[in-house]
């Protein structure tokens, strides 16, 4: 992997569509076949057999941990989960109606201010990655409970990462199935090649800024509804549709009005069903069985059928956000925490890509194709038009 300089300018591509911005050995996607791999391991097998802690090690060190290494990483996560004492007062002072993704962005910045270690070597930055990954769930759970007038729940010393997050949210230990559901959700969201938030983290890191700033860039980017924010929008959409029998009219009206994209569908890379959507769909099917949410699940299934008929030919299919919200809702998680869960997982991918990129760092500085006025002389104010409102 070397930073090869391009001979010719590849030319303009809106949203850098089709442009290769970096070389990476972490994650590969086959958009035509709907396949996703972390270092060659399929997302289906990782979801079935691995754990989020094991996937973090895989991404940071580019190999699976030995049993003792996995035990050591889990121990580090437990040791790092509790927030620095300076953070708690800030969480208490945040507006109760603050957007959780904005809260996470603020608190991640605060971690940077508290880190006095000037060492910017690989080991020190790996340690920062472990600490952020361990602490983000604690931050989100503490904010969530405080905004509801409840006391924050201290991290549990013997629960794994996913189970501990659910425990800190609710104050009671999750069942094994609930913990497994959350663990799979974190695995599915841990990385995804050069997505917008990872690219944003890399642009920041390429200036040799710090790892916290790179992650804060990623959080701010993930917040947008075209990226991480879609999972929350999907639940609002299926609530608004109300019943599977109304899906076709809803989609037809949306396309007719050209008012906005159908959330949970479409992807820059996948031109078939996102493999993560397939995994989430089966988990969602099981958790809603026999509950009122089965109605919402059936709306999603009908949406897939109608969208396939309408835009399947354009390669627009279900993405990771279509079913994830139903799983989180079944875990008792409110919609405005859905995207923070995405961030809690993706911090592993953001930091792994930065650690990798720093091995052969090169400043990101693309061109802009200039389409403005030709060079011209200065116009004194008295010689200018005095009214541009009718321009
Ligand atoms: C994630 O990149 C990643 O890897 C991201 C992600 C990750 O793990 O990091 O996978 C996570 O972000 C999943 C995507 C979540 N977002 C949504 O569900 C929002 C809805 N989806 C769309 O906004 C859209 O599909 C994007 C943003 C995801 C991708 O859009 P592109 O590649 O920029 O495609 P486009 O907007 O240029 O659309 C191309 C065509 C257009 O039709 P035409 O104008 O050419 O006729 O496809 C149509 C679009 O109208 N289209 C849709 C659609 N998505 C694209 N039409 C209806 N509904 C949609 N959802």
Name the residue of 219, 265, 266, 338 to mutate for ligand 1: max ligand atoms within 8 A of Cβ: 266
Largest CA distance in the chain: 77
Contacts made by residues 14-18, CB under 8 angstroms, sequence distance 24+? 15/268, 16/199, 16/366, 17/268
- Which of the residues are catalytic? 267, 321
Beta bridge partners of residue 47, listed in sequence order: none
Q: How far is the CA of 281 from the centre of ligand 1 (A)?
A: 19
Q: What is the pLDDT of residues 291-320, one digit of tens each?
A: 999 999 999 999 999 999 999 999 999 999
Coil vs helix vs strand at 179: helix
Q: What is the pLDDT of residues 184-202, one digit of tens each?
A: 999 999 999 999 999 999 9
205, 354 Cβ separation under 8 angstroms: yes
pLDDT at 102: 97
Which one of 3.90.550.10, 3.10.580.10, 3.40.50.920, 1.10.230.10 gives the CATH number of domain 230-330? 1.10.230.10
Whole-prediction pTM = 0.96
Q: Which two tokens stand for residue 98?
A: 């603050």
**Closest atom of ligand 1 relative to the 320 alpha carbon:** 13
3-state helix/strand/coil string of 196-224: HHHHHHHHHHCCCCCHHHHHHHHHHHHCC
Residue 219: count other Cβ atoms within 10 Å of its Cβ: 29
Q: Residue ranges per domain, the chain?
A: 24-225+343-360, 230-330
Name the residue of 232, 267, 308 to mutate for ligand 1: max ligand atoms within 8 A of Cβ: 267
CATH, range 24-225+343-360: 1.10.580.10
- Residue that is written with structure tokens 């004492």 in the block: 85
Output the ligand 1 site: residues, CB below 6 A. Answer: 15, 192, 195-196, 226-227, 230, 261-268, 311, 314, 316, 319-321
Q: What is the pLDDT of residues 65-86, one digit of tens each?
A: 999 999 999 999 999 999 999 9
Q: For residue 371, give Cα distances in angstroms to 88, 125, 209, 248.
A: 50, 41, 31, 42
pLDDT at 391: 66
Q: What is the pLDDT of residues 93-111, one digit of tens each?
A: 999 999 999 999 999 999 9
Q: How far is the CA of 326 from the centre of ligand 1 (A)?
A: 21
212, 106 Cβ separation under 8 angstroms: no
pLDDT at 120: 95
Kindly report the average pLDDT of the chain as a whole number: 95
Per-residue burial over 12-39, b = 16 or more CB atoms within 10 Å of its CB, e = otherwise: eeeeeeeeeebebebbebeeeebebbbb
Q: How far is the CA of 169 from the centre of ligand 1 (A)?
A: 32
Residue nearest ligand 1's atom 16 by CA: 226
- Residue that is written with structure tokens 């904005």 in the block: 102
* Average pLDDT of span 148-160: 97
Q: For residue 31, what pLDDT band results from cuts at 50, 70 and 90?
A: very high
Q: How far is the CA of 12 from the centre of ligand 1 (A)?
A: 20
299, 286 Cβ separation under 8 angstroms: no
DSSP 292: T
pLDDT at 8: 62
Q: For residue 349, give Cα distances in angstroms to 5, 261, 263, 381.
A: 25, 27, 23, 52
Query: Residue 277 and residue 294: Cα distance in Å, rounded?
Result: 17
Residue nearest ligand 1's atom 12 by CA: 227
Residue 1: pLDDT over 50: no
Q: For residue 258, what pLDDT band results from cuts at 50, 70 and 90?
A: confident
Q: For residue 259, what pLDDT band results from cuts at 50, 70 and 90?
A: low
Residue nearest ligand 1's atom 23 by CA: 226
pLDDT at 4: 55
pLDDT at 388: 86
Residue nearest ligand 1's atom 46 by CA: 314
Q: How far is the CA of 264 from the centre of ligand 1 (A)?
A: 9
Which among 141, 188, 143, 130 has a CA at the least distance from the CA of 164?
141
Where does residue 334 rank: exposed (0-12), middle (13-18), buried (19+ CB within 10 A)? middle
Coil vs helix vs strand at 38: strand
Residue nearest ligand 1's atom 22 by CA: 266
DSSP 291: S
Q: What is the pLDDT of residues 193-236, one digit of tens each?
A: 999 999 999 999 999 999 999 999 999 999 999 999 899 999 99
Which among 284, 295, 299 has a CA at the least distance from the CA of 331?
284
pLDDT at 29: 98
């Amino acid at each position: 992997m070397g930073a090869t300089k391009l001979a010719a300018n590849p030319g303009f591509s809106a949203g850098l569509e089709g442009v290769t911005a970096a070389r990476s050995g972490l994650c590969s996607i086959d958009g035509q076949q709907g396949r996703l791999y972390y270092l060659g391991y399929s997302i289906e097998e990782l979801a079935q057999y691995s754990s989020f802690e094991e996937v973090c090690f895989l991404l940071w060190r580019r190999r699976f941990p030995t049993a003792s290494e996995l035990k050591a990483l889990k121990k580090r996560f437990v040791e790092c989960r509790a927030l620095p004492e300076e953070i708690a007062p800030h969480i208490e002072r945040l507006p109760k109606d603050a957007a959780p993704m904005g809260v996470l962005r603020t608190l991640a910045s605060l971690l940077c201010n508290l880190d006095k270690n000037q060492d910017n070597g690989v080991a020190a930055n790996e340690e920062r990655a472990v600490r952020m990954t361990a602490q983000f769930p604690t931050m989100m759970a503490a904010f969530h409970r405080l905004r509801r007038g409840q006391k924050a729940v201290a991290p549990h010393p013997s629960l794994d990462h996913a189970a501990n997050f659910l425990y800190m949210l609710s104050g009671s230990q999750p069942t094994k199935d609930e913990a497994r559901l959350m663990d799979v959700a974190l695995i599915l969201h841990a990385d995804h090649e050069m997505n917008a938030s990872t690219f944003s983290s890399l642009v920041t890191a390429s200036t040799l800024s710090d790892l916290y700033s790179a992650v804060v860039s990623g959080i701010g980017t993930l917040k947008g509804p075209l990226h991480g924010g879609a999972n929350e929008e999907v639940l609002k959409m299926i609530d608004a549709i109300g019943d599977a029998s109304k899906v076709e009219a809803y989609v037809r009206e949306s396309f007719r009005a050209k008012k906005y994209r159908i959330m949970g569908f479409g992807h820059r890379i996948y031109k078939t069903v996102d493999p993560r959507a397939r995994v989430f769909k089966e988990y969602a099917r099981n958790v809603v069985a026999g509950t009122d949410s089965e109605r919402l699940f059936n709306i999603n299934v009908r949406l897939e059928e109608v969208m396939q008929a309408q835009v399947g030919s354009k390669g627009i299919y279900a993405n990771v956000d279509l079913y994830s919200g139903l799983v989180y809702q079944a875990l008792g998680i409110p919609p405005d925490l859905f995207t923070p869960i995405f961030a809690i997982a993706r911090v592993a991918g953001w930091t792994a890509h930065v650690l990798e990129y720093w091995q052969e760092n090169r400043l990101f500085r693309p061109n802009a194709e200039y389409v403005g006025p030709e060079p011209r002389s200065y116009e004194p104010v008295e010689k200018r038009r005095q009214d541009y409102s009718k321009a």
